[in-house]
Chains A and B, each alone.
Chain A
Amino acid sequence: MIDLVLACILAWLVLALCGAAIAQTRRGTALIYGCSLLVALVLLVTGAAAIPAGVSRETLPIGLPWTGGHVRLDALSGFFLIVVGLGSAASSLFALGYGRHELQPQRVLPFYPLFLAGLALVVVADDAFIFLFAWELMSIASWALVLAHHRESGNTHAALVYLLMASFSGLALLLAFGLLAGGAGSYTFDAMRLAHPPPWVAAVALILALIGAGSKAGIVPLHVWLPLAHPAAPSHVSALMSGVMTKVAVYGFIRIAFDLLGVPDWWAGVLVLALGGITALLGVLYALMEHDLKRLLAYHTVENIGIIFIGLGLALAFDADGLPAAAALAITAALFHAFNHSVFKSLLFFGSGAVLTATKEHDMEKLGGLIHRMPQTAFCFLVGCAAISALPPLNGFVSEWLTFQAILLHPNLPQWGLKIAIPADGALLALSAALAAACFVKAFGVSFLGRARSPAAAQAREVDHCSLAAMFGLGAICLLAGIFPGVVIDALAPVAQALTGAHMPSQIGLDWLTLVPVAQSRSSYNGLLVFVFIAGSASLMAWAIHRFASHAVRRAPAWDCGFPDPSPMTQYTAGSFAQPIRRVFGTVVFSAHEKVTMPAPGDTAPARMEKSIRDPVWATLYAPIAGGVARAADLLNNLQFLTIRRYLGFVFAALVLLLLALALWQ
């Protein structure tokens, strides 16, 4: 089983080399992406097969000589292999069409398979060295992909911040592993599992893991690189980075926190819950302030990561208080949401990629009316929007509903921290869900509905079939996972079992395929019936009305209360749409303020309105650090321009000091 995975990784590595070789050739793009697609499918199937199957391991003659390279495939890895396989399959398919528009394929093709290989390797790594090796490999490959269009303004900066944060996360994890491995350097995960570290070690390791994995996943305040880097890459890579890479980071956290560290303390739950809640809310608020389609999506990744971490935090809390069943529910919800997010976020990025190819635009203020020009893309994008806004009967709702159920499950946990944190997270979760809906009404409404705001948007053309196929496929998965959630939950049972020692009750057997987390009387949801009822009653009504009432239609100019304006500039823009919410939340969080300059009556000058937004995280955390480094560099830099005499002086001083030390020591 594991050998198959290794074979896939190897195949991708080979493809990377081929990519370097044949990037320039005419068939190169199709070949690379086609093969990647096949490999990804194999990986997908392997992952699916691996979840029920037991653990299978392998030791490779690479990596640290005295440890060797350990790889291991268990239920958890299997599940994340599914995420990786699905995501990479979809994006490869999408890229079969999208990649044709790439001007410099030689900057994408070699690194794309490498990136995929890195993703897959992280998931199966079973010792610290291989894990970090793959982790950094993934970072470097995606860094190179972010630099694929390095001549566009801002991309180099994005890449810089990205790789810096990536290596920061790598080093944090390195410290965590170093702590777990101990001075003797037993780097295999098995050794760490057996090593029951003292509590303070476990605590430090957990925090380091949270920092390391969290900064790769995009936890606030370590998220800054994400909205820069994800949009800069080609769209199918953005989809991978947002949809899959962040999930692999989540995997890293789960692996360390739940698998290697054993039972946590309750405060770990509080910590993760707090971070998760803040991340969810801030992520969506950032997204609302953002009018660049791809960056908006990237910020929503931050939000969803927050939701996932809320689930993980609940699981940690329940774990610490010895409630395995509840923990199982929470972690199932988290994993389910991870899966869902990987699906619809990829879908949405594909949509933005399609828009990009059709219009060369990703600024929403220059789009509009695309639903007429590219109806199929619009439909898929709409499905994605509905799913990410957690609207039934799609999949996003199910996982968030499960998270709510987990929140409701045990109100009476002993610790006060949890008493406060859990309901607060409930509120934050609800708030961010509602705001997400608002944000995606903005995203879809402004870029696809209304009238075209630029000639490019007016001339847009529907994209090719491969891209559409990828989008429709993911859309279908959104719907299926929404109306048959039981299947996914039962598939996740072994994972939950392995991580928390319990699993949710089996769902498949229940009548009408209802989803019952705990008990029928407590809570239940049936996506299938909801879907059938809605579709049924809607079509029934439509049929009845067209049959018995009128079906006459007349096209006329828009009514608009009697004075329609022909210019599309009078439409609501993304900025104006977000304005109320900016007033409500932005003033607090982003210290946003507007300045309206209204010319005096009779003055023909146009009225102006400037709005200013301040990124709290960057301003309070990163700017000072950057400034500090710059100041220190300037300060020390003076040492470069001294006279030889002074340098001799240093040597002299060092000598005298050491001798003094010696004299005192003796």
Chain B
Amino acid sequence: MTALPIILISLVAAALLAAIRNYRLSANLNVLASLVSFLCAIGLLVSRPANNQYLLIDDLNIVFILLNTFVGFTTSVFSASYIAHELETGRLTPGYLRFYHAMFQLMLLGMNLALLANNIGLMWVAVELATLTTVVMVGIYRTHEAIEAAWKYFILGSVGIALALFGTILVYLAARPVVGASMDAMVWTSLLAHARGFDPALLNIAFVFLLLGYGTKVGLAPMHAWLPDAHAEGPTPISAVLSGLLLNVALYALLRFKLLLSANPGAIAPGPLMIGLGLLSLIFAGFMLYRRRDIKRMFAFSSIEHMGIIVFAFGMAGPLGNFAGLLQMTMHSLTKSAIFFSVGHVAQVKGTQRIADMGGLTETHPVLGWALVASVLAIAGLPPFGVFTSEFLVVSSSFARAPLLAVLVVFGLLVSFGALLWRITGVAFGEPRGPTGPVKASYLPIFAHLSLVLIAGIWLPGPLVTWFQHVAALLG
């Protein structure tokens, strides 16, 4: 059993999808491919392959891979029903759909590769691939806004990428004297093994570049500017993938490099930097939520907010902090993609993304409306959903150690909660507004995600916990 299939499947699927004209067939194929790669990921759980110079499976990234492939699968299911509607309304043409599906698989390929890579160079290439594919996906509607969003995303993204590459090179430079001028100097496993001998000064500079470079893709303020528009203007499945997966991938990269730094005694502690950026993003996004008129853009900002919390948690580190970070990350990508699924259908019903044109959803579309309410409550960190657990851990564990920071976090949480609650009350309750036609929604993905989050909120399975704890220990 090796990790290769995950990559290959996507590759092959992409090639096929580029060829197939019939969009139903291609949609189903898309779903199938995603499902198979998810199964492969589960296979990895069963028997873990040996690592080589290029591919790596360890406790840390297997979490991400599973999550990635799972959400990829559910998203493909959702996208099947979504694009059908897009075709009816004529926003997309079959020609574009071929492109769309192919790109979808390439995107998954890029992300999975980035997660699997045992090689900082390979990882960088993969992240770039993911970026490029998502860029064209964002621009696919070819409206003014879409193009501008894509352009913004592209420019900021490529600058970020460039900075990340510079950082990567610096890491290599730091590693070379110790590991020797060979491929090993770019391989995670050997890097980690020798990290303590690296030149701290170089590592520091490298981390600054990597933090900003990959942080741009994580969507941390002040590098966040691309994220809201990309979420708002792209097709909703892409928004779901962006929030649910791409941010995680970038975050994963950051964590990897954080490992290097924390393994090196001389280097600066990465904690404070991450805490600072995290708090900034959290509070900034919290305030930005209030003036949003576009529902997808609003939830994009909520993603920034949550990335802030997660980065903060990892910055606080410690067994509790890291555990909370991992949990929060998992829960966020499940919940947020669920939100985007329901929002996508809502937007299709209402024919717009303007919040002002939505209202009384629980009256007109009870299932959809309550699903949306539930997922928003979940993302706001209320029980019985999983985010509550993680935020509980973040706040309580950090208050004992750094009261002021915890108070700031609480402040940010309250601010953003106020905005989300205000909006969702308007959308889901009160007098119905906007078109109230029936909707051909695929509830399966939504409820799959929600039930997972619900279960996690009440009871975390033992293996998962020990595994998270192990990773948390890894992250120091």
Contact = CB atoms under 8 A, between A and B. Distances in A.
- Do the two chains touch directly in the complex (Cβ atoms below 8 Å apart)? yes
Interface stretch (A126-134, A518-526, A553-561): A126-134
Which DSSP category, helix, strand, loop or mixed, fits chain A's interface? Answer: helix
Which DSSP category, helix, strand, loop or mixed, fits chain B's interface? Answer: helix
B413 A644 contact: no
B208 A181 contact: no
Interface stretch (A60-68, A378-386, A401-409): A60-68
A633 B392 contact: no
Contacts of B59: none
Interface in A139-178: 139-140, 147, 150-151, 156, 159-160, 163-164, 167-168, 171, 174-175, 177-178
Interface in A613-666: 629-630, 632-634, 636-637, 639-640, 642, 644, 647-648, 650-651, 653-655, 658-659, 662, 665-666
A106 B204 CA distance: 59
A164 B421 contact: yes
Contacts, number: 168
Contact of B225 (A129, A174, A179, A642): A642
A174 B460 contact: no
Nearest to B464: A65
Interface in A63-92: 63-66
A284 interface: no
A183 interface: yes
Interface in B234-281: 268, 273
B325 interface: no
A150 B223 contact: no
B322 to A, nearest CB: 12
Interface of B: 151-152, 155-156, 159-160, 163, 201, 204-205, 208-209, 211-212, 216, 222-223, 225-226, 228, 268, 273, 284, 287-288, 290-291, 318, 320, 360, 362-363, 366, 377, 380, 382-384, 388-389, 392-393, 395-401, 403, 406-407, 410, 413-415, 417-419, 421-422, 425-426, 429-431, 458-460, 462, 465
Given A651-B159, A651-B212, A662-B205, A133 B384 contact: yes
B429 A156 contact: yes
A196 to B, nearest CB: 15
Contacts of A174: 392, 395-396, 399, 410
Contact of B290 (A129, A633, A654): A633
A438 to B, nearest CB: 37
Nearest to A157: B425
B223 A651 contact: yes
A139 B363 CA distance: 22
B212 A658 contact: yes
Given A61-B459, A150-B430, A654 B291 contact: no
Interface in A597-613: none
A655 B458 contact: no
Interface in A543-565: none
B429 A147 contact: yes
Contacts of A639: 288
A168 B382 CA distance: 12
A636 B418 CA distance: 16
Given A658-B212, A662-B204, A156 B426 contact: yes
14 contacts: A136-B382, A147-B429, A164-B418, A167-B414, A174-B396, A179-B399, A185-B393, A629-B287, A629-B290, A644-B152, A653-B222, A662-B268, A665-B268, A666-B204
Contacts of B360: 150-151
Contact of B430 (A156, A182, A633): A156
B395 A178 contact: yes
A66 B462 CA distance: 9
Nearest to A163: B421
B159 A177 contact: no
B382 A167 contact: yes
Nearest to B401: A183
Nearest to B284: A636
A633 B291 contact: yes
A256 interface: no
Give the most central of B287, B320, B360, B366: most A CB within 10 Å. B287
Contacts of A147: 425, 429
